Amino acid sequence: MAKKGRGKGKVDRAWLDRHVNDPYVKLAQQHGYRSRAAYKLRLIDDQERLIRPGMHVVDLGSTPGAWCQVLRERLTAPGGRLQGRIVALDMLPMEPVADVEFLLGDFREPAILAELEARLGGSKLDLVVSDMAPNLSGVAVADAARMADLAELALEFAAAHLKPEGTLVVKCFHGSGYSQVVEGFKRVFRQVKVRKPAASRAESAETFLVGTGLRVSG
């Protein structure tokens, strides 16, 4: 048992060393982002030009709020005024981000979904982003399957709430269920792209799907 404990310690120290020396961790600290994940969305948007002033956006699985920070930056006009609307939702509390409306809860629950829809007031969305991830077990097959379930939930939500030319950005894991998620995207969207931004570690199974233009209006 002691040997196992030392091995875990080595893994923990290796992770900590990598984290401390990660250039995106340093950039996030320098620029006041709540996590390095901000650069994943930034780099995807730099490539795809998805976020534009005036948009209405929902951020699923928003905590700790790094993606909300990026959304707010890119929806803010000169002078600091937000042009558009950002509604964020998570099962975990999130420290406030200026101009972002936050809803605590699980949108799989009818009452939470109804509250989210009430906040939207019947308006369709330009963009849905999801950085949702399950609590990881360390079992790759099980974790990938749980990730696929969350991606499919985001896809279902987006199909019902996006404008016809709207876009969904979702985090996925390569592994069990991934090909089915891609096929699901292709059924819903006219254009589907796979993106692996530089801020996503090379050794990670994480990737992002970008779907644009609903095949049928939600």
Q: Which of 8, 171, 186, 196 is catalytic?
A: 171
Beta sheet of 100-104, edge-to-edge order: 100-104, 85-90, 56-60, 125-130, 162-173, 206-214, 189-195
Task: Confirm whether 171 is a catalytic residue.
Answer: yes
Rounded to whole angstroms, how far apart are CA atoms 150 and 134?
A: 8
> What is residue 80's DSSP assignment?
S
**In degrees rounded to 5, what are phi and psi of residue 50?**
-90, -35
* Tokens encoding 218: 């939600």
* Tokens encoding 78: 């000169």
> What is residue 76's DSSP assignment?
B
| Cα angle for residues 152, 154, 156 (degrees, 5° grid) | 70
Catalytic residue annotation? 171
